[in-house]
Amino acid sequence: MATLELSRPRRRHGFIAALGLAILAMAVAPLGAALASSPSPAAGSPSAATGGGVTLRIGTSQKWSTLNPFIALLIADYQITSVSYDLLVAIGPDLKPAPGLAESWTHSSDGLTWTFKIRQGATWQDGQPVTAADVAFTYNYIIDSFKYKDGSFGLSLFRDNMAGITSVKATDPQTVVLVTDKPSATILSAPVPILPEHIWKAVSYEAASGTAKDVKAFDNASMVGSGPFHLVQEVKDQYVRFEANKQFWGGAPKIDQLIIQYFPDAGPMVEALKNGQIDMIDQVPTTVFESLTNFPGVTTIKGAPIGFYQVGMNSWVPKAGQVKAHADQGSLGNPWLTKVAVRQALFHAIDKASIVKTALLGYALPGDSLLPPSVPGHWSPAADQAFDFDPAKTRSLLEALGFQDTDGNGILNVPADSKAFDPKGAGKDFVLRLYIRKNQPAELTAGQIMVEGFKQAGVSVDLQVVEESPFLANSTFPSATNADSDLYLWGWGGFGPDPDLVLGRVAESSQINAWQDANYSNPDYDAMYAQQHGQLDETQRTAIVQKMQELFYKEGSYAVLWYPYRLQAYRSDRWQGIKTLPADGGVIFTSLAYGQFQTFLTAEPKVAAAVPGASAGPGQSPAPTGGGGAGTIVLVGLVVLVVVVVGAALLYRRRSRPELGD
Amino acid sequence: MSRAYLGGKLLHALLTISAIMVLNFALFRILPGDPVRALLPRGIPAEQVAATRAHLGLDQPIFPDQFISYVAATASGDFGYSFQYRVPVTTLIVERAGPTVLLVGTASLLAIVIGIVIGTLAGARPGRWFDSVTVAASLVLYALPVFWLGMIAIMIFGQFGFPINGMLTPGFTPPDALAAIGDLAAHLFMPALVLALALIGQYALFMRSALVEVMTEDYIETARSKGLREEQVVIRHAVPNALLPTVTLIGINLGVIFAGAITLENVFGWPGLGSLIVSSVASRDYPVLQGAFLLIAVTVVAANLAADLVYGLLDPRVRG
Amino acid sequence: MAGLAILSAFVLLAVTAPLLFGAPPALGSADAPLADPSWKYLLGTDEVARDVLALVAYGGRISLVVGFLATLISVGIGTLVGIVAGYNGRRIDTFLMRVTDFFLVTPALVLAILVASIVGPSLINVIVIIGFTSWPATARVIRAQTLSVKERAFVARSRAYGAGAPHLIRRHILPNVWSLIMASSTLTVATAIFLETTLAFLGLADPTTTSWGTMMNRAFVSGAAGLGKWGYVFAPGVAVSLVVIAFTFIGRAFERILNPRLRGRQADTGAIAHAEVVVVP
């Protein structure tokens, strides 16, 4: 009997285990089979095995907001439009004007009349020829739209580029003549995408708002440009896919496909680069830059800063003629931010040095004026002019304005007698909202440092994490939300070689309801802006530009926090022909976007990686190196798990045996 | 199944859905003042506020007019417009529901199959080592936050080339259907596995305890006394009866599964309802949040109802 | 009592955090960001140069406080609903159980996300939201127990002598459901900590506070996981898991010790079966 007793359970276990395995196999089989049979397209990026030909994959952590170049706002938007559309005058490898759709140009001796020769043989991606008429159409399209002053986000984005232009005409199919009423320093640096007339003439700024043909609502899903890549697919919030335009006038790209993939979090994006699922990252998180530099097969690039991040302070004072979205109310921002003295007090509560050290890990320069140090004409405050970090000074400056901590909770109260000025806040704690972008760890840290500084100064800041598009964009915008924001942390890139762009878009009055976000308005600033725009003498222009920076630093609505180094990375073990802009000491992805497509023309897989078969299968991705990091984790994790399970099992057995023994 | 049982359960489900609708309606209106002004001023363009106002019929009295128009709109599948995407909420939710259903379905299937097998092995011989380890491991798995498991999975499987973001390889044009499924499966692998891991413990424990209970019943002894081998007793007589409560657990548990999916979708960039919900929070996209909540809640109620009905259909004892 | 030991360790760590680590670790307070574990920083540092061990201790404060306070609300509501429903029976019972069922099937996480997005994710709000979404399991258990106690002979006798409801509830019902309230509480704490962690991970917590959930979120988005910073990546997850396991053990122990009727097979998995109805993974 004893043998029978012993053998029974053993047999049974075997049987049940076999059954279990069978069921398990049934469940997993389709998955496994599918995995095994697929060529694992995720790996081996440049491989031709994926059906789309040689594919270059770019990871980005910014979600694009539109494909329509006229409402493009974010750098991610320009990354898309800039590979599909051409400029009249391109940006050369040295950042100087270079032949684009115009192969040459001349101007009259008074600088008022410009003649552009449009190159022959350029075609739209739908096959139609590019002519001078298209160029004239594009410029006139934008200029005409200024007549429709509804103050909305739209073609007004290009207002500065068009300043002073009185007429644009195609005199023959290859010649465009552009006339200005005064000399303009920016004719050749206007980042205006040239549009096909035969498509865009049907899209109108006169169409009813929100309809398919309204320029502000037009989705441009079947984008037709004359650039090197043709948009073939957009999957919202995931990726956009381009096919190479082999007829491109500048020569066929060496790759067949270009894909820009959005990653909500930078952590997985970096992992995807290491695993070979993407080939390039346009913005490497500071936390991993150093380790990525040491990662075999990856080349990192650290470019000098050309953009900045700021905490904006909503300074909108509604004026007659400006659209108010909620007709019953004025600005929805905190009214105190419209006072220069309050903003100046708050400037002292921001610890830029800590932000650069802790949030940016040193991969940035502390900010002051609108132009980064590397840009010619940069102005820096003298030591006695600077708004040093000094929360006590913020407090005393605010107290001088009537703020008092009347309830003893450590937060200053808004003057009680300011009911007329601040009906909602009078007498209460001084509270400001601070918007920061979602999924941006460095900005979250910077926000936390600011909250801390403001707290020491007696100002309560409510940190809110928000989606960049459309939420943050809308909330700074008078015509959308009555500028429903107080403080917000945001950045600017997109600067060309010319300071005009940033000086105008950031702070010039006419850019309220267009590019501006803090809604700053100062006639002195505007006057200087117009002055420099018409000034062709470099020295004199620089003097004005510096004065503008000084004025905005002292009285403006930004605390420029930092100038970030541009940290980028790509798989140099798989790709060659990667170019930077400028060629010397530049980066792959300029925040300007236009001009950088040169690198996508010359990029090609390295020969070894392109060998058929070499890039098939998941095992092709580089061996896990990284100093045993991830391997250790797996090991430690397994050990921890085993210890915990065994420990729990022991405990469980000890107590349950008596009850379960029956 | 008796008509009264069926009717009772149906009525109950309908009542619950009504209550969910009332809650959804009320959430917009609990704050004092104009609900649109109170909730939507932050970064929402005026025309969208106006559209929402019109959609909610806010110029009418809250009850009954507003409520009636809300119910009518909801019943016809109209949840208003998304602030973030400027498309009807219904379109958006339908588009995003597919990936979530795929993820939840695959994970549930994996979990139930593996859970039942493990639970059977454990429950057939309670108190043995396998049983102890099963119970302990289930407890540990149950105590691990699923999104954290997801992070760890990315670190482990990412190295082997498993895709870690999205649902399909961008730009991959599959030569045949099998390759397309393969691509999808490769992307599904990690999120589904992790979600299944988090659920296996519960199913295994449930199956185990159900089996242990069944094994004490008289008819099992009868079967044994008929001279059936033990594995035959377990497989033929005990397992079928123990399966029932375990299978219905899926229906009862669907809310928990959805919760896991929501967090995991954000870890793996899976383009489903979960990532939509989280991005809607940061956009204050309330119409989407309300629509998604209603959809998920109704699905969960329906699953509960289905579980009840299946149970009632198969188990004569619960007929009431 | 392994559960109690684990829990005590975490409570001790949280309570003595100021003694062990001084003030809450300020941004940039450690020598270097993302440092590997060393004698100075046993679990390394995070990406903004803070001692991870100190963060675990201080994060535990938030997680445990949220867990306990939310449980207080949750068990309060659950007990009240359970006793009132069980004691009164009939219509009130039917009505209250309908309400309970409603909250039981309503997906707690989605409801919590919706409410948090409307009222804002401050610490107090999160506690209240969790409290108000996690009580139904308690209510059901308490109701069942109340029903059975009510029918016992000594209670019926007491009622026959004309004892009022408050007296009966205080003298007879409460003492008899007390053990269940305790057991239910421990499981609810685990639920609440889980829910808080999940909300924080999804970015639905006050971003300026440090809890285990926000730690995991930061470890994820900063790419620390890919850098092999196991101290930073594992610590908050292991902490959550251990505390949840501890509470589950304690809950089971309560059921065994205080309620002999539940001894035996049911108690083995009863705790999990009870909790899984409401727990968010």
Contacts C47 to A, Cβ<8 Å: 287, 361, 441
* Span A369-421, pLDDT tens digits: 999 888 888 999 998 889 999 999 999 999 999 999 999 999 999 999 999 99
Q: Identify the CA nearest to A558 among candidates A512, A613, A617, A507.
A: A507
* A305-309, B113-117, B311-315, C241-245: segment of lowest average pLDDT: B311-315
Q: Is 60 exceeded by the pLDDT of residue A267?
A: yes
pLDDT, tens digit, 9 for 90 and up, residues A422-451: 988 999 999 999 999 988 889 999 999 999
Count interface pairs A-C at CB distance under 8 A: 103
Of A67-76, A272-281, B186-195, C76-85, minimum mean pLDDT range: A67-76
Greater pLDDT, C248 or C266: C248
User: What's the pLDDT at A649?
Assistant: 67
**Interface subset of B 209-248, CB within 8 angstroms of A:** 229-231, 234-235
Task: Look at residue B143 in the predicted model and tell me its pLDDT.
Answer: 87
Residue range B171-191, pLDDT digits in tens: 777 777 888 888 888 899 889
Q: How far is B2 from chain C (nearest CA, A)?
A: 21
pLDDT of amino acid A627: 32
Residue B169 or A21, more confident: B169
Lowest mean pLDDT among A153-162, A230-239, C17-26, C105-114: A153-162
φ/ψ (deg, to 5) at A170:
-95, 110
pTM of the model: 0.84
Q: Which segment of A472-481, B56-65, C120-129 scores lowest on mean pLDDT?
A: B56-65
Identify the pLDDT of residue C261: 52
Give residue B59's pLDDT band: very low, low, confident or very high (50, 70, 90). Answer: low
pLDDT over 70, % of chain C: 91
Contact A470 B84 (CB under 8 A): yes
Q: What is the pLDDT of residue B77?
A: 83
Residue A461: closest CA among A453, A451, A469, A452: A451
Whether residue C95 lies within 8 A of chain A, CB to CB, comes out as no
Q: How many helices and strands (H and E) does chain A possess?
A: 19, 21
Statement: residue A344 has pLDDT above 70: yes
CB C248 within 8 A of CB C275: yes
Between CA C257 and CA C248 the distance in angstroms is: 14
Least confident of B80-89, B133-142, C252-261: C252-261
Q: Is C223 on the interface with A (CB under 8 A)?
A: yes
Segment A88-105, tens digit of pLDDT: 998 888 888 889 999 999
Q: Could C227 and A447 be called an inter-chain contact, meaning their C-beta atoms sit closer than 8 Å?
A: no
Tell me if A441 and C49 make a contact (CB, 8 A cut-off): no
Residues A607-659 have pLDDT tens digits of 754 444 333 333 333 333 333 344 455 556 666 667 767 776 666 555 544 43
Q: Which of B34, B83, B92, B117 is the best mutation test for A, with the most CBs of A within 10 A?
A: B117
Say what the pLDDT of residue A619 is. Answer: 31
| pLDDT attached to residue A225 | 93
pLDDT for the residue numbered A633: 53
- Give me the interface pTM, i.e. the ipTM: 0.85
Q: Taking CA A160 as the corner, what is the angle to CA A156 and CA A165, rounded to the nearest 5 degrees?
A: 100
Question: Quick one: average pLDDT of C237-262?
Answer: 79
Q: What CA–CA distance (Å, rounded) separates C90 from A608?
A: 79
Task: Look at residues C195, C180, C192 and name the one whose alpha carbon lies nearest to residue C271.
Answer: C180
- Does position B117 have pLDDT exceeding 60, yes or no? yes
- Please, which pLDDT band fits residue B43 given cuts at 50, 70 and 90? low
Decide if A37 and B179 are in contact by the 8 Å CB cutoff: yes
- CA distances for A3 relative to A227, B114, B228, C68, C205, angstroms: 83, 32, 18, 55, 62
Strand partners, A229: A244
What is the separation of C-alpha B32 from the centre of its chain, rounded to a whole number of angstroms? 34
More confident residue, A267 or A394: A394
Question: H or E segment at A647?
Answer: helix A629-660
- Residue A364 backbone dihedrals phi, psi, to 5 degrees: -165, 160
Confidence of residue A498 (pLDDT cuts 50, 70, 90): confident
Rounded CA gap, C1 and C170, in Å? 31
> Residue A561: its pLDDT value, please?
96
Is the per-residue pLDDT at A39 higher than 50? Answer: no
**Residue A651, pLDDT score:** 63
Each residue's pLDDT tens digit, C86-134: 888 788 898 898 888 888 888 889 989 988 888 888 889 899 999 998 8
Q: Does C75 touch chain A (CB under 8 A)?
A: no
The pLDDT of B28-39, averaged and rounded, is: 54
Question: Does the beta carbon of C260 lie under 8 angstroms from any beta carbon of chain A?
Answer: no
What's residue A580's pLDDT? 86
Checking if the pLDDT of A196 tops 50, the result is yes
Neighbours of chain A (3+ CB pairs under 8 A): B, C
Mean pLDDT of the region B163-173: 82
A362 burial type by CB count under 10 A (0-12 exposed, 13-18 middle, 19+ buried)? exposed
In a 3-state reduction of DSSP, which class is residue A309?
strand
**How confident is the prediction for chain A on average, in pLDDT?**
81
The predicted pLDDT at position A129 comes to: 94
pLDDT of residue C263: 42
Instruction: Out of A60-64, A499-503, C204-208, give the one with best mean pLDDT.
Output: A60-64
